[in-house]
Chains A and B, each alone.
Chain A
Amino acid sequence: MSGSKFDELAEFREGLRHSIPFILSVFPYGIVVGTLGVNNGGSPFEVMLQSALFFAGASQTVMWELFGAGTPVWVIPLAIFAVNFRLVLYSAAIGRKLEPLSKPKMASALFLLQDIAMAVGMKRSERSDGLSFGHYMGINFVLYIVWLVASAIGIVFGQLIEDPKAVGMDMLVPVYFLLLVMGFSNKPNMALIFVVSAGVATFVYALVGSPYHIAAGGLSGMLVAALAAKAERTHV
């Protein structure tokens, strides 16, 4: 294997440190998902298995809500696919920032891919030396472990968070995501992309509902970015 241009161990350590601000969002969310699982008919083993395999809170929530409501089982994977469709877009965006990587390394990086991994990784890739495998794995390894620990706590101490709204749980993720988005305000055509994406998502959310607003808004924003792009920007 060709050597990396990075000191991967130092990058990994830096990634570990950079994970700290995100534990505040991953940890309570994991507790809520763990509790939701046992309340909807999952055994502790099954709920932990789900957290270990999915590592994707929104789709885990949807799965338990549908399963608990007695939805035909064959429908549920389709719902999981729809909720996780944004991961396809994240993967397309972040994969090339991690290249060149061996297949096992790329697969393990993509296995841990979620919103924070994508946002922090894309921001990091703006640096002159780009995004390293070590930094990416440092952050997301911590978040994965935190996710498992929080799920277990949610299972054992179910109802630990009695009223998610009273402790601001419902606003934790929106505030995080809004501020992560603002971190990209230096990107070309950011205001245009922001307005088109949010506008289409609002329209589709009101008319059709979740989760279709994500794909509709996201793809619209990407389309307008493609249309507005100038060729000379890409020769980097």
Chain B
Amino acid sequence: MFSLLDTTLVLLIVVGGVVTLANRLAGHYIMARFEPIPFRVEAALEAVPVAVMITLVVPTIVDGGWVEWLTLFVALLLSFRLPFIAAVFVALLFLLGLRYLGY
């Protein structure tokens, strides 16, 4: 079905791994050259969790329909009341319920 080792593929995986590690190291070691960091750059770095992670939700909102929108909204509401993992869990149960009902 498949060969045990495909030289091209192994090479591709190693190169991809190196690229990924380079991404992981680059940000910190580039910033470290610019110490001390100006306050505006500091503010930009503090914004990373919100600014970057919210973009990862965007495709779901653009491609999704009301079932997906409602699930995210329910998760949001639950997060004000429940611990993190409970909010995730209940929101996913809500989604599965909707899908089970055929929505």
The residues of A with any CB-CB pair to B shorter than 8 Å are 20-21, 24-25, 38, 41-43, 45-46, 49-50, 53-56, 59, 63, 67, 73, 76-77, 80-81, 84-96, 106-107, 110-111, 113, 115, 118-119, 122-123, 165-168, 170-184, 187-190, 193-194, 196-198, 201-202, 205-206, 210, 213-214, 216-229, 231, 233-234
Shortest CB-to-CB span from B87 to chain A, Å, is 6
Residue of A nearest to B21 (CB): A111
7 A-B interface contacts by CB (under 8 A): A46-B5, A84-B23, A168-B95, A221-B51, A221-B54, A226-B40, A234-B42
Shortest CB-to-CB span from A181 to chain B, Å, is 5
The reply to whether B6 and A41 contact each other, CB–CB distance below 8 Å, is yes
Q: Given the interface contacts A175-B88, A178-B76, does A91 sit within 8 Å of B95 by beta carbon? A: no
Alpha-carbon separation in the docked complex, A46 to B16 (Å): 12
Q: Choose among A91, A95, A174 the residue that contacts B57 (Cβ–Cβ < 8 A).
A: A174
Alpha-carbon separation in the docked complex, A146 to B68 (Å): 27
A198 neighbours in B (Cβ, 8 Å): 54-55, 57-58
B2 neighbours in A (Cβ, 8 Å): 38, 41-43
Size range of the chain B interface in the assembly: 35 or more
Alpha-carbon separation in the docked complex, A89 to B55 (Å): 13
> What would 12 more interface pairs be, CB under 8 Å, given A175-B75, A213-B58, A225-B47?
A53-B16, A67-B12, A87-B27, A90-B52, A92-B27, A178-B72, A182-B79, A189-B47, A197-B55, A205-B58, A222-B48, A226-B43
The reply to whether A217 and B51 contact each other, CB–CB distance below 8 Å, is yes
The reply to whether A85 and B23 contact each other, CB–CB distance below 8 Å, is yes
The reply to whether B16 and A165 contact each other, CB–CB distance below 8 Å, is no
Can you list, as one digit per residue, whether each of B64-87 has a CB less than 8 Å from chain A (1) or not (0)? Answer: 000010011001100100001101
Residue of B nearest to A95 (CB): B28
* B101 close to chain A: CB less than 8 A: no
The reply to whether A106 and B28 contact each other, CB–CB distance below 8 Å, is yes
B10 neighbours in A (Cβ, 8 Å): 46, 49
